[in-house]
A and B are shown apart, each in its own frame.
Chain A
Amino acid sequence: MPLVEVSHLVKHFHRGTRLFSAGTLVKAVDDVSFSIEEGETFGLVGESGSGKTTMGRCILRLVEPTSGDVRFRGENVLAFSKPRLRATRRQMQIVFQDPYSSLNPRMRARQIVEEPLIIHGLGNRTTRRERVAELFRLVGLDPAHLDRYPHQFSGGQRQRIGLARAIALNPSFVILDEPVSSLDVSVQAQVVNLLMDLQQQLKLTYLFIAHDLRLVEHICNRVAVMYLGKIVELAPTQALFAAPQHPYTRALLSAIPVVDPDAPRQRITLDPALVNRDAVLREISPQHFAAV
């Protein structure tokens, strides 16, 4: 049984506008289905604004999906009562994309990381203090800075506070929404190594949302590509990078910047006319699906 199973997930937003048009409907997530196996790192990449963050939030019910199904260990998360949902959240965590707006500016770093432990009634003051310091060290932050407020950290340091908070409860499933995007490559390597270590020790499962395709290639087992609210390609990582099928995936892979000022740039620009928006995912080769 997959750990997480998403079927026909839909999320629409209504945007009321005053000036140029009447209200519009945004199909942020438009009939998406996929499943994630236990212990897997599932990559989610795609165009900015294609619905990746919205989908992550729907899975945890931080926003209510318009329709569709989300199953966690076979049980329908969308049917959970409030208390049941709260209990399940202990196992499902998220590291938010924008560390600045997701960390409460009036709380000290210590309180931010400790809060989930308090909410779930874990440990006593002393053991919680120790755990918080340990988490701080794990993500490469100096426990001497535990009493600082979020604005007193750099962008990359804030990102790691969010990560420490998310792993505080030893969850089994973590949604990582651009978790290392503001880190330099060396600290990024440390955090990614930490994520891989934790995965091995705790059998963690990750949904890894990222724009850094080199990193995705390095750590993900399978990758899904989103474009305009839909998954347009899904494949084992190697297959996707070796033989991308969808025109958007091809454009995406061709645009990865290389660390060589003289490398010839052979960017493929996406011709939207090439995208058949009615195509559904079909299996092109074993385990490799594309909407072409």
Chain B
Amino acid sequence: MKNTDPVLAVEHLTTVFDLSTGPAPAVDAVSFQIRAGETLGLVGESGSGKSVTALSIMRLVEPPGRITGGRVRFKGRDLLALAESEMREVRGADIALIFQEPMTALNPVFTIGDQIAETLVVHGRSTWRAAMVHAVELLEAVRIPDAPSHLNDYPHQLSGGMRQRVLIAMALACKPSLVIADEPTTALDVTIQAQILDLLREMKSAFNLSLLFITHDLGVIAETADRVAIMYAGRIVEEGPVRSILRDPKHPYTRGLLASIPGGVPGERLRAIEGSVPALGALPPGCAFNPRCPDRFEPCTSAPPPEYPVDPNHGARCYLYDPGTSHRPSLSELRPGSPERQRREGGQPPATTRR
């Protein structure tokens, strides 16, 4: 394997849920790559399929969900073609998943010391005796204060953020080459979050760890990601280098997202993207974002847009960037108050202040 080959290459991955109304794709032909030592940030609307993507890579999707297509190449092997026994060896040892909700991954009837030790022993990294000592080191690495005294705690005896750190410790236990972290720092205060992000950075440089980092915190993205993929309704709608995405977002969804970050006058209503993400299995024709898009025009409702290159290594699935159509300014490029902008904004009421 060449140095520049991606560690993980997801190709047209598709996962559907069989609902009473028929199969509905939660992950729809998703493709991306992650190189050794690289962090890809995955961002997107709540319910857009980020966790299902993570679970699909690990082959942990449960019925009525099923993977119906695509490939997941990890170090050259297609994980979707492995036998379940081979996949078990990959999980935890080569690829570790930090689940979004710690309680789904922790067993309530075992102490956290036992659970960390088990991970080490199962993958042959340690004997039971040595594992407890190692578990303490791991808990210290994720900044659990007074770590030895917490070995015999049950999950419910820990605070939300402590549970989240236990999961991070378990994920790092076997020094995997890829970590998929699903909102790993949402329950942490920003000082501990900063320490955890430092720890991940150290691991990246120490042994070339690759990261798929799912988060909705764009500040965390700015600090950790090399590249960013934006997901909406099961599809990746924009992908590019972190600077390019945060400084010059192209897709109207990404722009709306960045505009929704709390800020501005305290107590004032926050700017949100109008409407809500379409329900699974009820996608509008064309671009899934079109009913909410301030920049919608004729082609948007006909067929899902392909990916157009917009900047070096930066692509967007949006007809605004179709070189074939004459240039159409996006809403944010129009002068505030201009007739065209007012028409497209549809006369939304001005924000009201309160406190």
Contact = CB atoms under 8 A, between A and B. Distances in A.
Contacts of A190: 272, 276
Given A20-B149, A218-B263, A257-B217, A142 B279 contact: yes
Contacts of A101: 101, 103
B216 A183 contact: yes
Nearest to A145: B279
Contact of A48 (B152, B153, B188): B188
Interface residues of B, number: 67
A263 B223 CA distance: 9
B269 A257 contact: no
Given A182-B46, A186-B272, A255 B191 contact: yes
A193 B272 contact: yes
A53 interface: yes
A178 B148 CA distance: 28
Interface residues of A, number: 70
Contacts of A200: 354
A61 B304 CA distance: 52
Given A237-B266, A255-B193, A259-B258, A211 B188 contact: yes
B186 interface: yes
A212 B262 contact: yes
B242 A261 contact: yes
A183 B217 CA distance: 9
B189 interface: yes
A123 B270 CA distance: 34
B266 A20 contact: no
A211 B193 CA distance: 10
Contacts of B162: 48-49
Contacts of A259: 218-219, 221-222, 246, 258, 261
A94 B47 CA distance: 24
Contacts of B194: 255, 257, 267
8 contacts: A17-B152, A48-B188, A48-B189, A100-B104, A178-B186, A184-B43, A261-B246, A267-B194
Interface of B: 43-47, 51, 100-104, 113, 132, 145, 148-149, 151-153, 157-163, 165, 183, 186-194, 216-223, 242-243, 246, 256-258, 260-264, 266-267, 269-273, 276, 279, 354-355
- What 4 pairs between A and B have smallest CB-CB spacing? A48-B161, A257-B219, A156-B46, A189-B272
